[in-house]
């Protein structure tokens, strides 16, 4: 386990966690009130409730990853889940980059976190994602693609890691050509010898990625080995053209 070793770094991290959780908690509370009003009236718009449910999910994930462990130990980021949450929050502009540089440096020292260390480094970088050569470490266990340009997006590549639960953690990297508002990345898993796929749901709340940004979504597969992955961008009921990502014989540990 690595720790943020300086008092100032721990204080900064505590403050940022609080500033991130506060608006999410308020949005979550507003959604609960709206749901109660709809229940009493028997009708109402569901949009605010869906938005609030997303805020609740993200707030709960941040709390589990950071707040609860800090009750018995100092602030630490030694898990893939923690680094994924940090990278998503940093890319959304909710975390200052300076305190996270130490996190990146320590994560680079651990082989099992190497890909997420590079993802976090990109998330806090001031360089525009479209001008950055993506490091090979992002695609451990998967493959670099970068050639399949579709009408809505270009797929950069993917990674696959052992989630230690009989499943694989798959991260798909892509660059939208247009704003993906109302659209969603999909991932289909074909078990070996099967023509039927499993529709894999993203683990994180889906973002409205900006055009040309380095976008990424995290999935947890149904199988641990011997399957093939396809991806694409869904617009309403239309799946759009599929892209073959590749085959996984066994997830990287």
Judged against a pLDDT cut of 70, whether residue 214 lies above it is answered with: yes
Q: What is the pLDDT of residue 69?
A: 43
pLDDT reading at 8 higher than 50:
no
How far apart CA 186 and CA 206 sit, in angstroms, is 11
Burial (Cβ within 10 Å: 0-12, 13-18, ≥19) of residue 146: middle
Q: pLDDT value at position 105?
A: 87
Q: φ and ψ at 72, to 5 degrees?
A: -120, -5
**Is the model's pLDDT at 9 over the cut of 60?**
no
Is the pLDDT assigned to residue 229 strictly greater than 90?
yes
Which pLDDT score, from 0 to 100, does residue 13 have? Answer: 57
For the beta sheet containing 215-220, the strands, ordered from the edge strand earlier in sequence to the opposite edge, are 143-149, 153-162, 168-176, 215-220
Predicted structure pTM score: 0.69
Q: Which domains does the chain have, with CATH numbers?
A: 7-123 (no CATH), 130-250 (2.60.40)
pLDDT of amino acid 150 = 74
Higher pLDDT, 156 or 53: 156
CA-angle at 122, arms to 137 and 94, nearest 5°: 135
- The rounded percent of the chain whose pLDDT value lies above 70 is 64
Is the pLDDT assigned to residue 85 strictly greater than 80? Answer: yes
């Amino acid at each position: 386990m690595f720790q943020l070793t300086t008092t100032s770094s721990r204080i900064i991290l505590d403050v940022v966690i609080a500033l991130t959780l506060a608006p999410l908690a308020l949005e979550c509370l507003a959604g609960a009130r709206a749901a109660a009003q709809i229940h009493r009236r028997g009708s109402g718009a569901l949009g605010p409730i869906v938005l609030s449910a997303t805020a609740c999910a993200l707030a709960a994930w941040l709390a589990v990853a950071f707040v609860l462990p800090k009750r018995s130990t100092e602030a630490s980021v030694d898990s893939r889940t923690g680094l994924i949450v940090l990278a998503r929050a940093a890319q959304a502009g909710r975390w200052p980059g300076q305190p996270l540089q130490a996190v990146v440096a320590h994560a680079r020292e651990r082989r099992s976190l190497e890909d997420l260390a590079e993802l976090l480094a990109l998330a806090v970088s001031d360089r525009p994602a479209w001008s950055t050569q993506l490091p090979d470490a992002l695609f451990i266990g998967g493959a670099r693609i970068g050639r399949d340009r579709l009408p809505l997006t270009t797929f950069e590549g993917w990674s696959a890691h052992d989630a230690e639960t009989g499943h694989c953690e798959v991260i798909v990297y892509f660059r939208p050509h247009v704003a993906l508002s109302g659209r969603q990345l999909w991932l289909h898993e074909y078990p070996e010898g099967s023509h039927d796929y499993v529709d894999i749901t993203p683990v994180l709340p889906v973002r409205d990625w900006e055009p040309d940004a380095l976008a990424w979504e995290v999935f947890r597969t149904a199988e641990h080995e011997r399957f093939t992955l396809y991806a694409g961008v869904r617009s309403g009921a239309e799946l759009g053209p599929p892209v073959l990502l590749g085959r996984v014989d066994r997830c990287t540990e």
